[in-house]
Amino acid sequence: MTAPAKTLCPYCGVGCGLEVLAQPQSAASDGTQPSLRWQTRGDRAHPSSQGMVCVKGATVAESLDCDRLRYPMLRQSLEAPFERVSWELALDTLAERIQTVINSQGPDGICVYGSGQFQTEDYYVAQKLVKGCLGTNNFDANSRLCMSSAVSGYLQSFGADGPPCCYDDLEITDCAFLIGTNTAECHPIVFNRLRKHHKRNPHVKLIVVDPRCTDTAKVADLHLAIRPGTDITLLNGIGHLLLRWGALDQRFIDRSTQGFQDYVEVLRHYEPALVAERCGIEEVALVAAACVWAEASAVLSLWSMGLNQSSEGTAKVCSLINVHLMTGQVGRPGAGPFSLTGQPNAMGGREAGGLAHILPGYRLVKHPQHRQQVEQFWRLPAGRISATRGLSVGEMMLALEQQQVGLLWIAATNPAVSLPDLNRTKAALRRSPFTVYQDAYYPTETAAFAHLLLPAAQWGEKTGTMTNSERTVTLCPAFRSPPGEARPDWEIFAEVGRRLGFAEQFAFASSAEVYQEFVQLTQGRPCDMSGLSHERLAVSPIQWPCPVQETPATAATKHDKRLYTDGIFAYPDGQARFMTYHEKGLAEPADAQYPFVLTTGRLYGHWHTQTRTGRIAKIQKMHPQPFLEIHPHDAQQLGLQTGDWVEVRSARGLVRLPLLITQNIRPGALFVPMHWGSLWAEDAECNALTHPESCPVSLQPELKACAVQVVAWPKPKVQEEDLQAEIGIITPAAGLPVESSRLSASPTF
């Protein structure tokens, strides 16, 4: 056995260190692969995870050789079969198509949709190609569905993006305030660190705000099961009580913030009785939560999609940050607002400028100087980078409907499952004159909408970097060859760039060279990583900021693992802002016709659209099939029992699911996991129900709430095995979800 390769888990934004071991096998599985089996285990030397991993990290290697896309495939229309083509032909076809669209429609006819599962090098080369060389800002990523409200919240409150905290804070804090995050299932190793600290220290309080009693909420000292969408009211209600009690850090407010008087005006409206009533909680619970805030010397907030995925996502994030600002709970050990990043490299995407409104180095498209700096660095003519913000992914779908898109290029995401209002989304995807889909697996649901498939090398088959939620950058080296002719994403973007005449801009010989160039562009920026290189990261993961002046020796004595420790924020005047908002409420509240609010989210074992986890037997067994969570009271009113099948309908579509009757959800609210697209179950796509209404600032859609009705549905006697054989995929055995399967979904470490 050779020495283990050290890398990062390619799933969630906790960013656990993994060691990968090769185990020779006796026979090759399909004659084309080297006969090696890979096994992962936690890397004890990794600073973020200290040797721990969850079931996803522990099993990831099992999916490496299943159903991979190996060769470029082309077809003339969506009805025609795919035919294998050479890379030469595939890349020439793509470059010619791009040129034709630019000549006939201009560069804004091109839309590229990427992913927080890119490595930073992939992201960077894509930005250089799309925003620099082609001259359109139409590059968006699935982070739009995920972290964009956190990005805009940090930007509004602090003047720059970037989570200010670090994981050590999990073991220092007196109060962990978890709002809109099911940390136990979705960020298990962060939760594990926090939980150990909580267990060992009786004075440490854990508060969870979530309409569902999740595995996270079950171990909380206080669970506030608020009505979906009432976070701003709750947060302003806590602020109101803190103000009333004088539990403020007046010195911090005076020195480091602006806008406190406006905030005070807003808070006046949030009397406890009113807040409790609107949020659907007991007034004593609200007061208890505020008391913990008032008494704790360090409060650490963790949040995720329950805040971000909202039609007022930015307002929710700013309302949370306001409570930290009024109490001076930021820039200190154990304190601060800490967004838990969803994907493994959504952070790197932000650093590299991977959304339609940003540029590399935490720069903004709308900022003339930022555009100029990047153009000069890329040796492009002045004015090449468009001053217009690019289309968000939601806007790309609208542009497809209006036939304004000449070419759509999708990579490392599966929008035919993960975008809202899926029936309309699929219809829009069908209108694309030419869609390129660059993925590691085949089939996926989105492949059905593509003309050209490009096989991507994935985790372990390409070398690059990823940044986790605490700003720690880890090098992820290739430890095996890609299957067939699959290639790293950055290489594919660079090849297309060269074919379009930008030989000088894409003369990279390796991903280390790409990284070297990228980090220079961060110099002097809030996310300064100019001191990083693949060479340095090969020794150990490093947290940014890490300016070029910082040597390994100075880094070892660095104390500031946190941002804003000096109370100076990223606005030019150094002051943070109280950005004040009243709650507007859900974009689509329940009504007489659609009386339930449906929320959607994740289960411990599965990852998103199951491209990997659906192909891993242990995880399939853990979560055999989709279901609808409903409160016993609601089920009784409808005359339904656990295991009965129901049809859930919104104004846009329907799903058919078996019921899981549970006290873990509020009456009036329902929950469906997001993991089952059309390849994995019939009529179980939760996004058939969701709507695309988005936060006006972050453009992030409200995936956490839509109005639905529920009716009994007699399950027809379809032979499940026949269906499975037809789609050629191992799907879960028929069987009803029972409470025990939820219990077995609890993290084991």
Ligand X SMILES: Nc1nc2c(c(=O)[nH]1)N[C@H]1C(S)=C(S)[C@@H](COP(=O)(O)OP(=O)(O)OC[C@H]3O[C@@H](n4cnc5c(=O)[nH]c(N)nc54)[C@H](O)[C@@H]3O)O[C@H]1N2
Check whether the bond before 545 is cis (ω within 30° of 0): yes
Determine if 521 is a binding residue for Mo ion (CB under 5 A).
no
x/- map, 219-258, ligand X, by CB under 6 A: ---------xx-x---------------------------
Q: Which does 314 bind (CB under 5 to 8 A by kind): Mo ion, ligand SF4, ligand X, none?
A: none
Decide: is 456 part of the binding site for ligand X (CB under 6 A).
Answer: yes
Dist. CA 174–CA 167, nearest whole Å: 14
Among the listed residues 194, 661, 703, 707, the single contact to ligand X using CB under 6 A: 703
Q: Does 340 help bind ligand SF4 (rule: CB under 6 A)? A: no
Site for ligand X in 45-104 (CB under 6 A): none
CB atoms within 10 A of CB 328: 19
Q: Which stretch binds ligand X (CB under 6 A): 365-373, 437-445, 522-530, 736-744?
A: 437-445
For 339, the 3-state DSSP assignment is strand
**C-beta closer to Mo ion: residue 374 or 672:** 672
Can residue 342 be called a binding residue for Mo ion (CB under 5 A)?
yes
CA-CA-CA-CA torsion sign (123, 128, 131, 133): negative
Q: Using the rule CB under 6 A, is 146 a contact of ligand X?
A: yes
Contacts of 79 (CB under 8 A, 6+ apart): none
Which residue stretch of 54-62, 91-99, 295-303, 703-711 sits at the interface with ligand SF4 (rule: CB under 6 A)?
54-62
Alpha carbons 271 and 116: distance in angstroms, whole number: 40
Find the residue with minimal CB distance to ligand SF4: 57
Nearest-approach distance from CB 42 to ligand SF4, in angstroms: 8
Asked if 146 touches Mo ion (CB under 5 A), the answer is yes
726: left (phi over 0), alpha (psi -120 to 50) or beta: alpha
Total residues in contact with Mo ion, by rule CB under 5 A: 2
Place of tokens 């991977």: 354
Structure-token match 């430890």, residue found: 479
Q: Give the nearest distance from C-beta 446 to ligand SF4 in angstroms.
A: 23
Name every residue whose Cβ is closer than 8 Å to that of residue 267 and which is 6 or more positions away in sequence. 236, 239, 240, 243
DSSP H or E segment with residue 418: helix 415-418
The minimum distance between CB 169 and ligand X, in angstroms, equals: 18
Residue number, 361 or 601, with CB nearest to ligand SF4:
601
Burial 306-316 (b: 16+ CB within 10 A, else e): bbbbbbbbbbb
Which one among 233, 444, 468, 731 touches ligand X, defined by CB under 6 A?
444
Total residues contacting ligand SF4 by CB under 6 A comes to 14
Least separation, in Å, of the C-beta of 184 and ligand SF4?
11
Minimum CB distance to Mo ion smaller for 47 or for 313: 313
Look at residue 148 and give the partner it binds from ligand X, ligand SF4, Mo ion, none, a contact being a CB closer than 5 to 8 Å depending on partner kind: none
Please say which residue, 256 or 662, places its beta carbon nearer to ligand X: 662
Minimum distance, C-beta of residue 602 to Mo ion, in the bound complex (Å): 9
For Mo ion, which residue has the nearest CB?
342
Structure-token pair, residue 157: 């409150």
Strand order in the sheet with 36-42: 5-8, 17-24, 36-42
Would you say 195 and 219 are in contact if contact means Cβ atoms under 8 Å apart?
yes
Residues 176-195, one symbol each (x = binds ligand SF4 by CB under 6 A, - = not), give: -----------xxx------
Q: What backbone phi and psi angles, to 5 degrees, belong to 656?
A: -125, 120
Q: Is 69 in the site for ligand SF4 (CB under 6 A)?
A: no
The answer to the question of residue 631 lying near ligand X (CB under 6 A) is no
Binding status of residue 607 toward ligand X by CB under 6 A: yes
Q: Kindly state the helix (H) or strand (E) to which residue 317 belongs, with its residue range.
A: helix 313-326
Q: How far apart are CA 693 and CA 695, in angstroms?
A: 7
Q: Is 605 in the site for ligand SF4 (CB under 6 A)?
A: no
State yes or no: residue 482 binds ligand SF4 (CB under 6 A): no
Q: Indicate which of ligand SF4, Mo ion, ligand X, none lies near residue 461 (CB less than 5 to 8 Å, by partner kind).
A: none
CB distance 664 to 734 below 8 Å: no
Q: Is 305 in the site for ligand SF4 (CB under 6 A)?
A: no
Are residues 708 and 657 in contact, defined by beta-carbon separation less than 8 angstroms?
no
Q: Please, what's the b/e burial string for 173-192 (b: 16 or more CB within 10 A of its CB; e: otherwise)?
A: bbbbbbbbbbbbbbbbbbbb
DSSP string computed for 61-119: GGGTTSSB--S-EE-SSTTSPPEE--HHHHHHHHHHHHHHHHHHH-GGGEEEEE-TTS-
Q: Round to whole Å and give the CA distance between 569 and 338.
A: 16
Distance CA 472, CA 166 (A): 9
Q: Which is nearer to ligand X, 59 or 373 (CB)?
A: 59
**From 22, 53, 407, 655, residue interacting with ligand SF4 (rule: CB under 6 A):** 53
Residue 642 vs residues 627, 659, 732, 739: alpha-carbon distances, Å: 10, 5, 19, 10
Stretch of 71-79, 153-161, 409-417, 499-507 lying at the interface with ligand X (CB under 6 A)? 409-417
Q: Lay out the site mask for ligand X across 323-342 (x = CB under 6 A, - = otherwise).
A: -------------------x
Residue 335 contacts which entry, ligand X, ligand SF4, Mo ion, none (Cβ below 5-8 A, type-dependent) = none
* Residue in 608, 649, 656, 666 binding ligand X, rule: CB under 6 A: 608
Reference 705, options 302, 227, 174; nearest CA is 227
Task: Report how far residue 745's alpha carbon sits from residue 215's, in angstroms, rounded to the nearest whole number.
Answer: 9
- Count the residues in the chain: 749
**Looking only at residues 184 through 243 of this chain, which bind ligand SF4 when binding is defined by CB under 6 A?**
187-189
674 lies in the binding site for Mo ion (CB under 5 A): no
Write down the least CB distance from residue 341 to ligand SF4, Å.
10
At its nearest, how many Å lie between ligand X and the CB of residue 181? Answer: 4
386 or 425: whose CB is closer to ligand X? 425
Neighbours of 560 (CB within 10 A): 12
Least Cβ distance, residue 595 to ligand SF4 (angstroms): 36
Which neighbouring-strand residues pair with 408? Answer: 111, 435
Nearer to ligand X, 358 or 453 (CB): 453
Contact string 477-516 vs ligand X (x = CB under 6 A): ------------x---------------------------
Which one of 5, 11, 132, 440 is in contact with ligand SF4 (CB under 6 A)?
A: 11
Q: Which of 153, 164, 180, 737 binds ligand X (CB under 6 A)?
A: 180
Residues that bind ligand SF4 (CB under 6 A): 9, 11-12, 14-16, 49, 53-54, 56-57, 187-189
Residues that bind Mo ion (CB under 5 A): 146, 342
